[in-house]
Amino acid sequence: MFVQKKNSPKQIFQKLRGLIKPPNVMVKEISPGIKILRDVHIPMRDGSYLSANIYLPAQAGTFPPLLSLHPARKDVVCKDGYMHIQLRFARQPGNITFSNETSFEAPDPDFWAVNGYVVINIDKKGFGLSPKGDHPQAFFDEEEIQNLYDAVEWAGVQPWSNGNVGLLGVSYLAINQYKVAAMNPPHLKAICPWEGVSDLYKDWFYPGGVREDGFTPFFSGRIQQFGYAIDLREEQAKREIRDDWWKSFVADFGKITVPMLNCISFASQMMHTRGSARVYERAASKHKWLYTHRGGEWTAYYSTEVNALMLKFFDYFLKGIENGMPEHPKVCLEIREFGDKVKEVRYGDHWPPENITWRSFYLNGRDRSLSVEPDIPDSASTFDLAKDSLRYSYVFDRDTEIIGPTKLMLYIELEGCEDANIFAGIQKFHHGKEVNFNGTYGFPNDIVTKTAMRVALRTVNEFESMPYSPEHDFDTLKPLKKNEVARLELQFEPSATFFRKGDELRLVLQGQYFISGLKINQPFTYKRSTEGQCTVHASTKYRSELSMPVIEK
């Protein structure tokens, strides 16, 4: 059984030291002259209100408002010795600087106010200083979206507003932008959802139909400490298929027409990565841009480079400044060779890139290779779902980039069980040594890309799928019968990785997740298979294959 390697003693020391004081986070005083209005009540259509902190530029005039609505409590900021607990546990690869009025994953009021914007940080209903209401609050539901819609329209008519409102923020503060944007509030002129799932079931709680068991209970418990909320873990546990409740949180992406600057992090796999890609690919916005990276989630967001890009975007669409944004390349693509080494940053206008070639690699069970030739000998390779794995290898004969979503077609048979969770991962080896990459929340020992599939939820929605991108409804359980051979179609999380000639790519199949939830700052873990055997068939009849988007040099 393959489990990603442990943190080194040096990494463990750095993590433990970071719990006391993150060494790469610098918090500065907010600039003098910025006017702060605290606990401003924004009226809602139902007669209630939301509490907001408003940061106004020092100079007189009217300015574009930038809104963020979240449950992390707007008044919890890094000052007087306090540091966001997430920054203590999830040490970022890179330095972060923001002001002491910055709420968690929210825009830095100092940067934006200095550059002529009004920043509005809003407590979600039932959290912080916003009233509870008469029932525990759900997340991303119609009430929350209506509240954010009302806040947008309120901000658009205030005396300090120029009437052009934007939405901005990371993760949770990105997710609730989608449905609001699909409603097209009259004063909403641009959005910047920076890394956020777009389908709660598919991206977070049950990727591939496999239940997430690490971050979800942590988040659910923590969020209930913050405010008056439903128990997300309880809802997850009783809703194993993607029913109407799960579907209700998904935006109609085709109705998003507002200009959008989006981000795909190749590090936030089985969380933000595929969800961010889905929004960019399906939004109907005429003007949309995509930034990609595999660094730290917050390192990238607060970086000088990203701040400059976001400022250029909002300056054009919210201030009307002719700065060349329409001509700015639509896609910024970061390609990594090693975890700490960017091979190249490339600019273009298409995602996935238009110059990729979809190339098939066929699983050869005889010698455990990935063959570029479709004529392979018939084989049936079996592994114990509870403790073993299968590995298939390919050594590149030329320099090659793999950029975009990778698809895996498997023909499998189960013995000793009628259902199982199958995990598939891709590793990179250079000179025989595994190459590790940044993972979710700064975890340093991740693999190239990964995915999962619950066998009983394998049915593909042919109407919504593309040849390289299978989509599943996850609404019908179909356990395998004895001696039945089933076809599984899995989509790996998008990535952008450079392989030199002689580098090895290794496909791993097993019944448990690749990273232990006990590892420092790696909260995600998934329900594992505990019994039975899985046989992978590879033949001319059962053509198990890996389809990868490649650019060969």
As a whole number of angstroms, the distance between CA 372 and CA 385 comes to: 28
Q: Is residue 2 part of a domain?
A: no
Residues 121 and 38 in one domain: yes
As a whole number of angstroms, the distance between CA 401 and CA 497 comes to: 6
Residues 318 and 381 in one domain: no
As a whole number of angstroms, the distance between CA 485 and CA 63 comes to: 62
Q: Is residue 201 part of a domain?
A: yes
Instruction: Provide the 8-state DSSP code for 204.
Output: I
Task: Name the region of 331 (left: φ>0; alpha: ψ -120 to 50; beta: rest).
Answer: beta
Say how far residue 435 (Cα) sits from the centre of its chain: 22
What was the pLDDT predicted at 520?
57
Residues 421 and 495 in one domain: yes
What was the pLDDT predicted at 58?
95
Residue 408's beta-bridge partner residues? 490, 546
What was the pLDDT predicted at 20?
56
Q: Which of 309, 328, 347 is the last residue of a domain?
A: 328
Q: Is residue 436 part of a domain?
A: yes
C-beta contacts of 301-307 below 8 A and 24+ residues apart: 301/105, 301/170, 301/194, 301/195, 301/263, 302/96, 302/97, 302/98, 302/108, 303/94, 307/111
Residues 372 and 321 in one domain: no
Q: Is residue 336 part of a domain?
A: no
Q: What does each of the 553 residues of the chain score in pLDDT, given as a tens digit? A: 666 655 566 555 555 555 555 668 899 999 999 999 999 999 999 999 999 999 999 999 999 999 999 998 899 998 877 888 777 776 678 889 999 999 999 999 999 999 999 999 999 999 999 999 888 898 999 999 999 999 999 999 999 999 999 999 999 999 999 999 999 999 999 999 999 999 999 999 999 999 999 999 989 988 888 888 999 999 999 999 999 999 999 999 999 999 999 999 999 999 999 999 999 999 999 999 999 999 999 999 999 999 999 999 999 999 999 999 999 999 999 999 999 889 999 999 999 999 999 999 999 999 999 999 999 999 999 999 999 999 999 999 999 999 999 999 999 999 999 999 999 999 999 999 999 999 887 788 899 999 999 999 999 999 999 888 899 999 999 999 999 999 999 999 999 999 999 999 999 999 999 987 555 567 889 999 999 999 999 998 999 999 999 999 8
**Angle 139-145-147 from CA coordinates, rounded to 5°:** 105
What was the pLDDT predicted at 3?
65
Residue 371's beta-bridge partner residues? 362
Residues 6+ away with beta carbon under 8 Å from 181: 167, 188, 191, 251, 256, 258, 260
Instruction: Choose among 185, 186, 183, 212: nearest CA to 197.
Output: 212
Residues 321 and 361 in one domain: no
Alpha helices in 428-479 (DSSP H): none
Would the CA dihedral through 380, 4, 490, 139 be positive or negative? positive
Q: Is residue 341 part of a domain?
A: no
- For the chain, the domain total comes to 2
Q: Is residue 349 part of a domain?
A: no
Residues 280 and 410 in one domain: no
- CATH classification at residue 194: 3.40.50.1820
Residues 269 and 392 in one domain: no
As a whole number of angstroms, the distance between CA 375 and CA 371 comes to: 9
What was the pLDDT predicted at 23?
61
The range of the structural domain enclosing residue 265 comes to: 9-328
What was the pLDDT predicted at 5?
54
As a whole number of angstroms, the distance between CA 373 and CA 378 comes to: 13
As a whole number of angstroms, the distance between CA 522 and CA 89 comes to: 9
As a whole number of angstroms, the distance between CA 523 and CA 214 comes to: 5
Residues 371 and 496 in one domain: yes
- CATH classification at residue 365: 2.60.120.260
As a whole number of angstroms, the distance between CA 40 and CA 49 comes to: 9
Residue tagged 């139909």 (tokens): 209
Q: Which two tokens stand for residue 381?
A: 């390779």
Q: With contact defined as beta carbons under 8 Å apart, do 67 and 193 qualify?
A: no
Q: With contact defined as beta carbons under 8 Å apart, do 105 and 160 qualify?
A: no
Q: Is residue 115 part of a domain?
A: yes
Residues 399 and 442 in one domain: yes
In a 3-state reduction of DSSP, which class is residue 163?
coil
Residues 534 and 391 in one domain: yes
Residues 280 and 426 in one domain: no
Instruction: Provide the 8-state DSSP code for 304.
Output: H
Instruction: Provide the 8-state DSSP code for 295.
Output: S
Residues 13 and 117 in one domain: yes
What was the pLDDT predicted at 4?
61
Q: Is residue 159 part of a domain?
A: yes
